[in-house]
């Protein structure tokens, strides 16, 4: 296994736990995406929910990517960090009037509409404010993403998107409205998808639906296939850039764009997961009756993924070269699920060692809480330490 490169000597003056971002790796990732989409009719919207740290957002915006937002505050943050309104898509099943108005007032690119009542609300608010709202129909394609149940979004049992049976009514509503402009179709089937054939299934469904619409004389400028590209959390080098080439090649193969049509993506995790690590210190090594616990000063309040989804994150002791020992790596929070890894092989640890929990740049900082009155983790960046 390759150990990560961390400027450990610089960490000594910093209070743990904190997120550490390798900005070169972030740029390497963004370069890889840019290379795949350049010269094509593809627009990639970065999903802010994965990581909304302003430094990270500004870096992503500087590449010219768009933003995928799921709340009014995410829209405001995206604008504040340099994403143009003309590239902001707004999804979510529960957009409030206040949030819809934020979208309308700022002239965002598109509302991804997830239900008929939401469409009525957007229509009413657009009419009250004298706007025409660009909308894409988020359709639940009933395609299995073969990922964790909690992050599967494109099955009939999930709350997301319009059902196919809603579509005639949706068309009717839009045709009758002077304040809604139908520009596209939107899908998002789930997250941490490593079996790319799920995206193939999505493309087949998208083409079928596109044909259904064109039989009714409706064509779309925008096809939005959402996000979901997974990363390899188990890779021996622990921070590999996702296979963007295979991902975009698949869509090029299965979705033939019509003239003047753009294909939109909403990638979150694959942009930011590899570049972030949660850095903690060993508070205690405790001998249990059957195992040894390494208790860190980071807990599930800083990184909830292992507790919530039984997610794997590679863990390293970056202070020690001693022989390997097996530990359950746990946090200080009063929950038995506050475990980062069971039976983890680590260089022998003592109090104060730095422990790195890798590939934590996505859904780490954004999902942190203050449970147990803990402070939120800080963040540091490789180019400004």
Q: Footprint of ligand LLP on this chain (CB under 6 A)?
A: 47, 49-50, 68, 91, 151, 153, 188, 191-192, 226-229, 266-270, 305, 309, 363
Say how many residues make up the chain: 385
Query: CB-wise, 270 or 349, nearer to ligand LLP?
Result: 270
Query: CB-wise, 112 or 317, nearer to ligand LLP?
Result: 112
Report in angstroms how near the CB of residue 291 gets to ligand LLP at its nearest. Answer: 27
Query: CB-wise, 17 or 230, nearer to ligand LLP?
Result: 230
Both tokens of 190, joined, read: 């789930």
Query: CB-wise, 313 or 374, nearer to ligand LLP?
Result: 313
Report in angstroms how near the CB of residue 208 gets to ligand LLP at its nearest. Answer: 21
Query: CB-wise, 91 or 294, nearer to ligand LLP?
Result: 91
CA–CA gap between residue 115 and residue 167 (Å, rounded): 10
Report in angstroms how near the CB of residue 161 gets to ligand LLP at its nearest. Answer: 9
Query: CB-wise, 173 or 231, nearer to ligand LLP?
Result: 231
Query: CB-wise, 209 or 346, nearer to ligand LLP?
Result: 209
Report in angstroms how near the CB of residue 198 gets to ligand LLP at its nearest. Answer: 12
Report in angstroms how near the CB of residue 290 gets to ligand LLP at its nearest. Answer: 30
CA angle (264 as vertex; 235, 98 as ends), nearest 5: 105
Report in angstroms how near the CB of residue 244 gets to ligand LLP at its nearest. Answer: 12
What count of other Cβ atoms lies within 10 Å of the Cβ of residue 297?
19
Query: CB-wise, 128 or 245, nearer to ligand LLP?
Result: 245
CA–CA gap between residue 292 and residue 171 (Å, rounded): 61
Report in angstroms how near the CB of residue 285 gets to ligand LLP at its nearest. Answer: 29
CA–CA gap between residue 280 and residue 305 (Å, rounded): 16
- Note whether 272 and 33 are within 8 A (CB): no
Report in angstroms how near the CB of residue 276 gets to ligand LLP at its nearest. Answer: 12
Closest to 101 measured CA to CA, from 78, 131, 142: 131
Report in angstroms how near the CB of residue 210 gets to ligand LLP at its nearest. Answer: 19
Query: CB-wise, 166 or 353, nearer to ligand LLP?
Result: 166
């Amino acid at each position: 296994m390759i150990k990560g490169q961390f400027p450990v000597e610089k960490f000594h003056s910093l209070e743990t736990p904190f997120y550490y971002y390798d900005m070169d790796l972030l740029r390497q990732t963004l370069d890889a995406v840019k290379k795949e989409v350049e010269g094509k009719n593809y627009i990639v919207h970065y999903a802010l929910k994965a990581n909304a740290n302003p430094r990270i957002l500004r870096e992503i915006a500087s590449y010219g990517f768009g933003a995928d937002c799921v709340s009014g505050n995410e829209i405001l943050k995206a604008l504040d960090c340099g994403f143009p309104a003309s590239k902001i898509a707004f999804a979510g099943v529960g957009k409030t009037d206040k949030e819809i108005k934020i979208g309308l007032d700022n002239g965002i690119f598109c509302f991804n509409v997830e239900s008929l009542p939401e469409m009525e609300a957007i229509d009413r608010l657009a009419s009250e404010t004298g706007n025409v709202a660009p909308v894409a129909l988020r359709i639940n394609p009933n395609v299995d993403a073969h990922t964790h149940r909690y992050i599967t979004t494109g099955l009939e049992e999930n709350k997301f998107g319009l059902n196919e049976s809603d579509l005639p009514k949706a068309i009717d509503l839009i045709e009758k409205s002077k304040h809604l402009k139908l520009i596209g179709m939107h899908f998002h089937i789930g997250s941490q998808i490593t079996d790319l054939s799920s995206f193939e299934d999505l493309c087949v469904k998208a083409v079928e639906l596109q044909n259904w619409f064109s039989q009714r004389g409706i064509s779309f400028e925008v096809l939005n296939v959402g996000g979901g590209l997974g990363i390899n959390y188990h890779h021996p080098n622990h921070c590999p850039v996702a296979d963007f080439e295979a991902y975009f090649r698949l869509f090029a193969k299965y979705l033939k764009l019509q003239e003047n049509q753009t294909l939109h993506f909403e990638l979150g995790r694959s942009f930011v997961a590899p570049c972030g690590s949660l850095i903690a210190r060993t508070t205690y090594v405790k001998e249990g009756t059957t195992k040894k616990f390494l208790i860190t000063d980071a807990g599930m309040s800083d990184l909830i993924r292992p507790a919530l989804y039984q997610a794997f994150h590679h863990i390293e002791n970056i202070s020690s070269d001693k022989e390997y020992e097996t530990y359950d790596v746990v946090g200080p929070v009063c929950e038995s699920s506050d475990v980062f890894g069971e039976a983890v092989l680590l260089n022998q640890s003592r109090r104060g060692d730095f422990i790195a929990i890798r590939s934590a740049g996505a859904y780490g900082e954004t999902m942190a809480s203050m449970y147990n009155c803990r402070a939120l983790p800080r963040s540091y960046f490789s180019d400004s330490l």
